Amino acid sequence: MKKILAISGKPGLYKLVSRGTNNLIVETIDAQKKRMPAFGADQVVSLGDISIYTNDDNEVSLASVFDSIKQNYDGKAVDLSPKKADQNDIIAFFAKVLPNYDTDRVRVSDMRKVLSWYNILVNNGITEFVNKEEENQEENSEEANA
């Protein structure tokens, strides 16, 4: 998930291919595999760095949310259209996959983006969201905190 990127102002998701001196070389995650540079002025965010707010003052990693969607939908793409779906349908979908999300801080536009990104990843064969080593580290740190 660290090498999968979202670039503000550009649709879709990108895979980090290489680093240039003043830019990143990225490739679209779709059938076209188009390569292009992403410069410092572009807001580039790794999906591995994104978290969703929850009611219990913790944040859940986006990879964990994707994994929850995968479990609820048997690893298949969600048939709900992020652009055309009714706001209530999007909220119901998100409540199903992350029941304790913070309703005040997580906007419907964020939910639509998560759904869209999940479908892009699954449709292009990327279905391993949570690294088993990272999952074990998170469990160990939670046990240590308890």
The set of residues, in sequence order, having a beta carbon less than 8 Å from that of 39 and lying 6+ positions away, is 22, 23
107 has pLDDT over 90: yes
> Which tokens is 36 given?
């292009």
At position 136, the amino acid (one-letter code) is N
Ranges in the chain annotated CATH 2.30.30.730:
4-47
Confidence of residue 92 (pLDDT cuts 50, 70, 90): very high
pLDDT at position 132, please? Answer: 57
CATH architecture of 4-47: Roll (2.30)
Every domain range in the chain assigned CATH 1.10.10.1650 = 50-138
Q: How many whole angstroms separate alpha carbon 137 and alpha carbon 145?
A: 12
Share of the chain above pLDDT 70, in %: 89
**Is pLDDT of 72 > 80?**
yes
CATH no. of 50-138: 1.10.10.1650
Asked if residue 26 has pLDDT above 70, the reply is: yes
